Each structure stands twice: as C-alpha cells, then as structure tokens.
C-alpha cells in the first residue's frame, strides 16, 4: 500500500469545497429509520424540518450518501431526506428479492404517507429517477416538482452491459483500496480521495476480514436480469406522459446510459419539462460533477 492509499479521507466539508460545491453552513445529517412494507429503511435527514422538503433517491448499487455534497448545499433552504432504497445502504434487504421499480415506488409512497409529507420536491438518479417519475405519475397531487437525473425509459445497451459487468465482478476483496482501484477503473472522473470518501459508505467488512458491498448480493447473481425490457420501456413511457408537475431532466454530457435523443423525446411527451446537460459528467452526474449538478438544480428550484 502506498502513501496515497493510506491517507485519511477528507472531511465532507473540505471534500465538497475541493469539488466546487457552494455552501455556507457546515450542516450534518441525522440518521433515521422508518418501517414500511415489513422492511426497515434508513434515511439521512438534513436541515430544518420546518423548511420545504426535498426527497433524494439514489441509483442502483448506491446509497443515500451518494447525495452528501448536494444535500449539504440544499439543506440551507430545505429539509432534505435522502433515502436508502430496499436492499441498499443501511436499509434492509427484501427477503423475496423484489427489487423492481413498482416495489421501490410503493416503498416511497408508504414512507411519504408515514412521514405526512406534501408539496415536496423529488429528485432521483438512474433507477431512483425511474422510481420518482413512477411515483409522480400516480400521486400528482402530492408533488411540487421533479428532477429526473440520467434516467429514462430506455437505456443505451452498451452502457447498461458495462454497468452490469462492473457490478458482477468478484465481490469480496482484501482491502478498501482494492475497491477504490476498481471504481477508478470504471469511472476515472473521480479523484482517489473523492472515491475513498464515498466508497466507505457502500462497503462493509465481513467476519473473515474481507470487504464487500453493502447492497444485496442478489444484484450480482445471474438470476438478476431485466425481463422483457420492451414491455418495461412501454410502461415507463406511459408513466412519463402522466407527470404534470414542473420537471427538470438532467443528463450527463458523457452518459453511456441515457442518449440525448431520448431525453428530447421525454421532454416532448411530458407536460412541463425542461432539459439540462451537465458537462464533465457521465451517468453518475451528482458525483462526477457535483458543482455543475448543484448549479443546474439550484437554477431549477429558484424558478419554482
């Protein structure tokens, strides 16, 4: 292990400053738990509970900490709730291995009801984005605005296969640094320090001393695959047509999962949507270019 590997990760605040994220208060979140659908869910709550609410939903194989830089800035004006989806982060795994969008959306619905939330803003990345617009299509009266981040009814297949290949690699490694090496090979846009600061929330040490991912190992098995993608895409397109609230469609300029022509199609079929492309970002926009993403979201929120 070299000296670079052994360096302690930066504090959240210093790391955010290094990435150009703007904030004036060094807010920190509270870890909270809630039980719905017989599963215990973990979420981070940032900011003053009296402020308007923003709910953040991460992508597959990620955690609520994927939003830490963004939550830090948003929490100055908003109550921010960043959720760990079922089977991810510190939320429980589903015994029946039901990890489809309908299950995620129903969990979100039950959590929103239990927390008695109304007139909130939903922001979701990737599978989280699909979850958010699925929820929005079914609960039009609840939502103030929506941001769909590098998520669409149809994926670029090359990027999807690349992501699946990454997820299904050997999942028990001897050190944190081996995971960092793997992440940087898959996504070289991150600095090593940034990767180290984020990975620590998404892996756990096993009894044998090795490290593995926190998210459900079912996602890394051959049994996990999309059934009838054409039918799923048709369903998701029909849901987008029903979303009436102001919507921001965000795409990473170098995304290998969402094509620009697909975001154009999304905007055309939706009632009140605009598109923004974030430069220097791939699929994982908030992590690849948090400052650019923060600017895009703030510009959208300021017009509401």
User: In this structure, are residues 163 and 183 in contact, taking their beta carbons and an 8 Å threshold?
Assistant: no
Which ranges of the chain does DSSP label H, i.e. alpha helix?
A: 3-6, 12-18, 68-74, 101-115, 127-138, 157-167, 176-186, 192-199, 229-240, 260-269, 285-288, 290-302
Helix, strand, coil content of the chain in percent (nearest 5): 40, 20, 40
Q: What 3-state DSSP class applies to 231? A: helix
Domains, the chain? 3-302 (3.40.50.1820)
pLDDT in tens, 1-10: 333 444 566 8
pLDDT number for residue 56:
99
In this prediction, the residues of the chain whose per-residue pLDDT falls under 50 are: 1-6
Three-state secondary structure call for residue 57? strand
| SS3 (DSSP) at 213 | strand
245 contacts 140 by C-beta, under 8 angstroms: yes
The pLDDT, as a whole number, for residue 3 is: 38
Residue 45: DSSP 8-state:
E
With b for 16 or more beta-carbon neighbours within 10 A and e for fewer, the 35-67 pattern comes to: ebeebebbbbbbbeeeeebbbbbbbbbbbbbbb
Residue holding tokens 């190992």? 217
**β-bridge pairing 211-213 and 143-149:** unpaired
pLDDT given at position 166: 82
The residue count of the chain comes to 304
pLDDT at site 6: 45
């Amino acid at each position: 292990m070299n000296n670079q590997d052994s360096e302690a990760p930066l504090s959240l605040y210093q790391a955010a400053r290094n990435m150009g994220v703007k904030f004036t208060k060094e807010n920190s979140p509270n870890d909270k738990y809630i039980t719905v659908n017989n599963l215990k869910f973990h979420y981070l709550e940032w900011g003053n509970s009296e402020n308007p609410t923003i709910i953040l939903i991460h992508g597959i194989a990620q955690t609520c900490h994927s939003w830490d830089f963004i939550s830090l800035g948003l929490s100055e004006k908003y109550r921010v709730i960043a959720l760990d989806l079922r089977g991810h982060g510190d939320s429980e795994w589903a015994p029946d291995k039901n990890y489809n969008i309908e299950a995620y959306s129903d969990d979100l619905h039950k959590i929103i009801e239990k927390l008695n939330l109304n007139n909130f803003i939903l922001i979701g990345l990737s599978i989280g984005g699909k979850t958010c617009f699925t929820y929005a299509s079914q609960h039009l009266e609840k939502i103030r605005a929506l941001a769909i981040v590098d998520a669409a009814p149809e994926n670029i297949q090359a990027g999807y296969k690349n992501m699946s290949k990454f997820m299904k690699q050997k999942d028990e490694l001897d050190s944190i640094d081996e995971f960092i090496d793997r992440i940087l090979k898959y996504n070289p846009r991150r600095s090593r320090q940034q990767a180290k600061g984020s990975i620590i929330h998404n892996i756990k040490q096993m009894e044998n001393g090795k490290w593995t991912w926190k998210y459900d190992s079912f996602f890394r098995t051959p049994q996990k695959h999309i059934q009838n993608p054409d039918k799923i895409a048709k369903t998701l397109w029909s849901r987008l047509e029903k979303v009436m609230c102001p919507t921001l469609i965000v795409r990473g300029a170098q995304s290998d999962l969402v094509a620009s022509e697909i975001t154009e199609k999304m905007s055309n079929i939706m009632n009140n949507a605009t598109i923004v492309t974030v430069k220097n970002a791939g699929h994982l926009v908030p992590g690849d270019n948090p400052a650019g993403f923060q600017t895009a979201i703030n510009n959208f929120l300021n017009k509401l």
